[in-house]
A and B are shown apart, each in its own frame.
Chain A
């Protein structure tokens, strides 16, 4: 193997940081805020299926910006770690700190050992029994981890959104007010808004992905705020948002006596069936 040029370690790290930062700054922003009953995630995300915010475990949530394929594989790894730990010990033994540490070590190792660093920034949030015990961990592409109070902003316009949130944010806001504070801050510097958000308009519900970790919910605290619930929290400023697709399967009917998948060839769960069957004959 030849080493045609020498590059100092400092130079290599600087180049990688710059590369990762550039990648992250192209994306839209995500804000994670604490509120009276837990933690609120607000992502500027026009897609209703490619999520930036997700559930890791009972009291733990995840938000990310950057390259989708990279943070998605990290999210899946987090869910796996949480489920393996919860299954082999007890559900109580899964903590946000464990997940955040695993992310920090993984991101750190990738940053130093691989040519291309991950272009992602993550937030791992955990709700406790009271607002004092809520935790927000911010993880950057180089594996550094910071425990933040109040809120975390990540993504392209992070600085502008953070500045806006510093003015408006107060601890212990009710959900609707915390959401308005967050959406206003995101809208003010969103490239999707007319005049780069210099106007007073708010991002419509269809451009937002909102979820909460609500400490009042038993066991699984994570809940997506979608559809009519989001519309009413936003004061219906943004028109109807898409409903969540939590159970979108082809309709099924009970078929006692017929093993699943061995029934009518036209049924959605039976393999095969005619490509040009008689059912198609009358159409087209």
Chain B
């Protein structure tokens, strides 16, 4: 049976797979009921397909005293072209976690969509949210399923961060997990970045981030790291005051995941640009 027939009910109601009580995973359920809806079940011809889809670039995440922040630039590229100036690459995964994506945009967005349903589905069926480690591990399995496509140029590398509701007393509730294309899952200390500009973003965070920063200071380190990445990486977009496009930044704290307003991020970005310009003018005044 193909996928669409299975999303309708038959003449006698639910198909048998729906009434099977076993399993609270949406992905596992799709694998039996509608396997062609799963990105990992698709055959990719063995040619390099990397030029077929836009690629997303830089994502950064940092922890701070109250939780965790994640930000992403707005550019997607296809080869030498900028295919999108306003793509969003950071999404809430559920109330307590966010996911940012770098790599083949088409596959990545489908994966995020599936992942969001996966977490919500588990929550509805079990009446309980997954633990943060459980969520991170589930995402690793989805990335692992994409390994075949990754080897043909359609790699997706996410960054996952969340507020740990079960954090033991005295530990930081904000946690960050990074991945590699084979599904390797690594918890990061303090900050992390993925994508083509991640080298520059990490170098920036190395100098600006400290443990125990408050929310505002930590937000600034995120925006500044993206600015530094855009400065040196052609595939990462900087703040765009002409079109009023600024990085997307999510904050996850005890209240849940919230997207910072464009005005707030624009204010920080403008401050950073102003400071850099002032510093450069001083250099010019000194005769450089």
Contacts and interface: CB of A to CB of B under 8 A. Distances in A.
B40 to A, nearest CB: 15
B114 A260 contact: no
Contacts of B13: 102-109
Contacts of A49: 127
Contacts of B113: 87
Interface stretch (A9-17, A73-81, A123-131): A73-81
Nearest to B133: A260
A253 B167 contact: yes
Chain B CB within 10 Å, residue with most, of A80, A104, A257 = A80
A178 B34 CA distance: 42
Contacts of A103: 13
Contact of A252 (B6, B21, B121, B166): B166
Interface stretch (A26-34, A146-154, A189-197, A240-248): A240-248
A252 B7 contact: no
B277 to A, nearest CB: 37
A177 interface: no
Given A101-B9, A256-B189, A72 B121 contact: no
A83 B166 contact: no
A4 interface: no
B188 interface: yes
A80 B132 CA distance: 23
A190 B13 CA distance: 34
A87 B14 contact: no
A190 B249 CA distance: 53
Given A81-B14, A83-B26, A257-B189, A247 B121 contact: no
Contacts of A255: 187
A79 B37 contact: no
Contacts of A246: 127-129
B186 A84 contact: no
Interface string B159-183: 0000011111101100100000000
A272 interface: no
Contact of B168 (A86, A104, A107, A253): A253
Contact of B9 (A105, A107, A249): A105
B188 to A, nearest CB: 6
B164 A252 contact: yes
B185 A254 contact: no
B37 A253 contact: no
A25 B10 CA distance: 30
A76 B125 contact: yes
A247 B166 CA distance: 7
Contacts of B120: 83
A258 interface: yes
Nearest to B134: A249
Report which residue of A76, A88, A104 has the largest number of chain B beta carbons within 10 angstroms of its beta carbon: A76
30 contacts: A73-B21, A76-B19, A76-B125, A77-B14, A77-B18, A80-B33, A83-B26, A84-B37, A87-B113, A87-B114, A88-B3, A88-B7, A101-B9, A102-B13, A106-B9, A109-B13, A247-B165, A248-B128, A250-B166, A251-B169, A252-B132, A252-B133, A252-B166, A252-B168, A254-B171, A254-B172, A254-B189, A256-B187, A256-B188, A260-B133
